[in-house]
Amino acid sequence: MIRFAHVTKEYPRTGAALKDVSFRIAKGEFAFLTGPSGSGKSTILKLIFLEERPTAGEIRVAGMHAAKIRGKEIALLRRKLGIVFQDFRLLEDRTAEDNIAFALEVTGAPRDTIGTRVGRLLTQVGLASKGTSYPKQLSGGEQQRIAIARALVNDPFVLIADEPTGNLDDRATRGIFQLLGDINSSGTAVLMATHDLELVRRHEHRVIEMNRGQIVFDSTDPAPRAAQER
Amino acid sequence: MRLTLREAVMSFARAPLLSALSIMMIAFSLYSFGLFGLVALNFRQRFGAVEERIEIEAFVDDSTNVETLANAVSEIARFPEVARALPVTKDEALERARRDMGEFKDVFDASFLPASIKVQVREGFRDPATVQRVADRIAAYAFVDDVRYGAEFVERLHDIRNVATGTGIVLGIAFAAVAIIIIAATIRITVLARAREISIMRLVGATNGFVRRPFLLEGLATGVLGGGLALLLLWLSFALIGRYIPLVFLERPMAIGGIAFGGMIGLLGSALSVWRHLRRI
Ligand SMILES: Nc1ncnc2c1ncn2[C@@H]1O[C@H](COP(=O)(O)OP(=O)(O)OP(=O)(O)O)[C@@H](O)[C@H]1O
Ligand SMILES: [Mg+2]
């Protein structure tokens, strides 16, 4: 589904953010991406949803070569991904419903199906009664649920979450994490970058640990460095 | 709650205000452009009438027989530069002189007014050098005594025309460029105001075309509305000045062309700023 092969990413001023990174995420998998600040977690996620391009190496997402695709194909690929951020990225001047519907309208979905689809998603994230609220009227946890509902509108094969619980208290964090687990159980892969080692430790999911732009530990591959050296 | 409401109202009010401003700015630059066009148009109209008066008169020797004269006239009429060549007989010359001179009409006697050929130069050949060349050719006929045309007048006219055309072109380009820059800048403000919305749109899989469309439409509408407003202002100015000086207004295709031009400028300006914004991946 997602495959990185010897990926290097250099930013113009700051230099190498990723050095020779290789890994795969399988269909329906749940994986944590951990590591200290600046280790390259967000960079990996940005490479997946094509906000950035690799300097070297090969990235395949849903069978497409991420380094090569252009223009409209980028948009089409993003529709197969669900993307969630720490800061929610909701439009403040629209209601929760409209924020979710927006993602459907943008892809040219038929208008008459949007309403029911949005209703179903609101129910799925447990906010059926809050559809007409504006983001400012919702708690952080609720806003993140709306953002997750928006990420799910196009039935993505993978949900990419960059510190989705970074702005939330413990209770809200547990709630969001529970939701991500449910989403994963229904077949959607989840790749989640997080600082929350407590959370990581409490669950049995795969862990990919980064440090200074390299993978230093991968729970499905106990000796990644040895493998890379070969 | 109150804050949310106020913000929603503000973001609603922000866009129309900005649009109104850009429409006005476009209208103003197109209006200036149109005003100049109107002046140029009227100038040309007058000017054309004056230019038609450019005429070469060849005075013919008394002893020339009518047939030679007639042959020469039809020959001259076939010069590519010549619009018309007309023989003026002695009697006609006398008639004209009498009409022009009024009370002195009895003083004139047909014998001292020579017959002549009047030659009108075709449009596009009314520059000093060409007129001179035609005059020289006519002067080469043996029976032609003297050739006259207002050499100085022709030159003056030519200079004025060159300056007017040059100024028109330069000002026209300058106004169009200013209008494009203004639209690009105003659309850029809208684009930046909606940068967050745009980035979210792209994140959830909107194509660049989809993102671009509303802005292009906005640019087009702004340009067309600006063009319409400019036309209205222009017409008002025309009506006002027209009370004192007889003027002609832009013809319909020109007016429609002006509005279309406004739309084009709007489209171009917005395309420019949206393209610049979307170029980053
Ligand atoms: N747009 C950018 N331009 C230049 N350098 C960047 C850019 N984005 C990230 N970097 C650099 O790349 C490195 C990795 O950054 P990245 O955001 O991937 O880290 P991270 O693991 O997500 O950190 P955090 O846990 O703080 O979010 C950092 O050194 C950072 O300074
Ligand atoms: Mg990060």
Query: For residue B222, what are the contacts with CB-CB under 8 A and spacing of at least 6?
Result: B19, B22, B23, B26, B183, B186, B187, B266, B270
Please tell me the predicted confidence (pLDDT) of residue B15.
Answer: 62
Q: Number of folded domains in chain A?
A: 1
Does residue B115 sit in the same domain as residue B243?
Answer: no
- B176 against A198, higher pLDDT: A198
Q: Which residues are paired to B48 by β-bridges? A: none
Does residue B124 sit in the same domain as residue B205?
Answer: no
The CB density around residue B27, as the number of other CB atoms within 10 Å, is 25
Contact A153 B204 (CB under 8 A): yes
Q: How far apart are alpha carbons B121 and B58 in whole angstroms?
A: 13
Q: How far apart are alpha carbons A212 and B109 in whole angstroms?
A: 114
Query: How large is the ipTM?
Result: 0.84
Integer angstrom CA distances of residue A8 from A57, A208, A211, A213? 6, 17, 14, 9
**Per-residue exposure over A105-130, b if at least 16 CB sit within 10 Å of its own CB, e if not:** bbbeeeeeebeebbeebbebbbbeeb
- B44 against B38, higher pLDDT: B38
Integer angstrom CA distances of residue B179 from B15, B226, B233? 20, 10, 17
Q: Which of A92, A102, A153 sits opposite B7 (nearest CB)?
A: A92
Under 8 Å CB pairs connecting chains A and B tally to 66
| Structural domain that includes position B230 | 2-48+159-280
Which residue of B204, B207, B212 is the best one to mutate when testing the A interface, meaning the one whose CB has the most A CBs within 10 A? Answer: B204
Please tell me the predicted confidence (pLDDT) of residue B92.
Answer: 75
Does residue B31 sit in the same domain as residue B59?
Answer: no
Reported confidence tier of residue B79, pLDDT bands at 50, 70, 90: confident
Chain A residues 182-221 within an 8 A CB cutoff of chain B = none
Q: How far apart are alpha carbons A163 and B83 in whole angstroms?
A: 85
Does residue B266 sit in the same domain as residue B168?
Answer: yes
Q: How far apart are alpha carbons B249 and A164 in whole angstroms?
A: 65
What CATH number does the domain containing B143 carry?
3.30.70.3040
Give distance in angstroms: CA of A40 to centre of ligand 1. 6
Does residue B60 sit in the same domain as residue B199?
Answer: no
Distance of CA A34 to the CA centre of its chain: 13
Tell me: pLDDT of A85 over 60: yes
Q: Is residue A95 part of a domain?
A: yes
Q: How far apart are alpha carbons B150 and B53 in whole angstroms?
A: 10
Integer angstrom CA distances of residue B191 from A198, B14, B18, B216, B252? 42, 13, 12, 11, 35
Does residue B131 sit in the same domain as residue B35?
Answer: no
A155 and chain B: CB distance < 8 Å anywhere? Answer: no
Reported confidence tier of residue B1, pLDDT bands at 50, 70, 90: very low
Tell me: pLDDT of A32 over 60: yes
**Which residues form the pocket of ligand 1, taking CB atoms under 6 Å from any ligand atom?**
A 11, 13-14, 17, 35, 37-43
Per-residue model confidence as pLDDT tens digits over B80-93: 888 888 888 777 77
Mean pLDDT of chain B: 78
Instruction: Please answer whether residues B224 and B193 qualify as being in contact, where contact means their C-beta atoms are separated by less than 8 angstroms.
Output: no
Please tell me the predicted confidence (pLDDT) of residue B31.
Answer: 85
- What are the tokens at B17? 């205000």
Q: Is residue A201 part of a domain?
A: no
A110 and chain B: CB distance < 8 Å anywhere? Answer: no
| Structural domain that includes position A100 | 90-155
Please tell me the predicted confidence (pLDDT) of residue B101.
Answer: 66
Does residue B94 sit in the same domain as residue B165?
Answer: no
Q: Number of folded domains in chain B?
A: 2
Please tell me the predicted confidence (pLDDT) of residue B54.
Answer: 78
Residue with tokens 């380009």: B173
Residue with tokens 């080469």: B140
Pair type for strands A30-34 and A189-193: parallel
Tell me: pLDDT of A222 over 70: no
Integer angstrom CA distances of residue B83 from A152, A193, B73, B272? 79, 85, 12, 49
Average pLDDT over residues B223-242: 89
Which listed ligand is nearest to A17 at the C-alpha? 1
Nearest residue of chain A to residue B12 (CA atoms): A93
> What size, in residues, is chain B?
281
Does residue B85 sit in the same domain as residue B223?
Answer: no
pTM of the model: 0.71
Q: Is residue A68 part of a domain?
A: no
Query: For residue B266, what are the contacts with CB-CB under 8 A and spacing of at least 6?
Result: B26, B183, B219, B220, B221, B222, B223, B224, B226
Instruction: Please answer whether residues B126 and B159 qualify as being in contact, where contact means their C-beta atoms are separated by less than 8 angstroms.
Output: no
Contact A93 B196 (CB under 8 A): no
Please tell me the predicted confidence (pLDDT) of residue A70.
Answer: 83
In the listed set B115, B148, B181, which residue is the last one of a domain according to the structure? B148
Per-residue model confidence as pLDDT tens digits over B107-151: 556 555 668 888 888 877 878 888 888 888 888 888 888 888 877
Please tell me the predicted confidence (pLDDT) of residue A38.
Answer: 93
Q: Is residue A225 part of a domain?
A: no
Q: Is residue B183 part of a domain?
A: yes
Does residue B137 sit in the same domain as residue B238?
Answer: no
Does residue B272 sit in the same domain as residue B193?
Answer: yes
In the listed set B92, B127, B148, which residue is the last one of a domain according to the structure? B148
Does residue B199 sit in the same domain as residue B267?
Answer: yes
Q: Is residue B154 part of a domain?
A: no
Q: Is residue A80 part of a domain?
A: no
% of chain A beyond a pLDDT of 70: 96
Contact A137 B197 (CB under 8 A): no
Set of chain A residues whose Cβ sits within 8 Å of the Cβ of B210: 75, 106, 108
Q: Which of B12, B199, B204 sits opposite A106 (nearest CB)?
A: B204
Q: Is residue A151 part of a domain?
A: yes
Closest protein CA for atom 27 of ligand 1 = A37
Q: How far apart are alpha carbons A48 and A54 in whole angstroms?
A: 10
Tell me: pLDDT of A229 over 70: no
In the listed set B148, B183, B210, which residue is the last one of a domain according to the structure? B148
Please tell me the predicted confidence (pLDDT) of residue B134.
Answer: 86
Contact B8 A93 (CB under 8 A): yes
Q: Is residue A29 part of a domain?
A: no
Query: For residue A139, what are the contacts with CB-CB under 8 A and spacing of at least 6?
Result: A172
Q: Is residue A179 part of a domain?
A: no
Set of chain B residues whose Cβ sits within 8 Å of the Cβ of A103: 204-205
Q: Is residue B153 part of a domain?
A: no
Average pLDDT over residues A196-202: 89
